[in-house]
Amino acid sequence: MNKKPVCVLLAMMLLLSFAPIDVLAAELPEAEVEISHFATAATTSYERSWYGASLALSRTSYTPTHYYDGNNVGIEMSCSSEKEGSFTVTLWRSVTGNSERVGSAMFDRNGFTKATWSNVGPGSYYFIFTKASDGALVYCRDIGMYSW
């Protein structure tokens, strides 16, 4: 019996229990899966200072809403793509069923980029990732979303 698929499945289940996303399935060996969004089971807000994720961006993706307990919010990630260029990351504040745009930053499709928004205050926030519909995927790993 080949135990590799079972080990991969168990590892995926463990990772998914800590991060509410399904994009890790795209990293399975020989899998041809195109995932262009974060999976959200509900609009539950979790209270922490740091959240991590991975993403395969084809056009537009949303993160789950999270509660950030610091006055400043930031995001950083390493990305790779077959095409050069950039994409937009927009921070949104979620307030009682409404959303308020906080600001946007341009991120490189290849390499490390970091953006911060100062003095936004503690609260529930989410990010929207948007890129041109050019057929290329942007793979973002080690996404760190945090507050201080």
pLDDT above 80: residue 54? yes
The Cα–Cα gap between 51 and 30 comes to 28
**What confidence score (pLDDT) does residue 48 get?**
64
Q: Which of 124, 119, 126 is nearest to 148 (CA)?
A: 119
pLDDT in tens, 74-118: 999 999 999 999 999 999 999 988 999 999 999 999 999 999 999
pTM of this prediction exceeds 0.75: no
pLDDT above 60: residue 39? no
Q: Which of 68, 91, 66 is nearest to 147 (CA)?
A: 68
- Per the listing, tokens 């056009």 go with 59
Counting residues of the chain whose pLDDT is more than 90, the rounded percentage is 64
pLDDT above 90: residue 28? no
Q: For 52-72, what is the mean pLDDT?
A: 95
pLDDT above 90: residue 130? yes
Q: For 51-56, what is the mean pLDDT?
A: 94
pLDDT above 70: residue 145? yes
Using alpha carbons only, how large is the chain's radius of gyration in Å? 16
Take residue 146 and report the two structure tokens written for it: 């945090």
| Amino acid, single-letter form, for residue 79 | C
DSSP β-bridge partners for residue 127: 91
Give the model's confidence band at 46: pLDDT under 50 very low, under 70 low, under 90 confident, else very high: low
Mean per-residue pLDDT of the chain: 78
**What confidence score (pLDDT) does residue 104 get?**
98
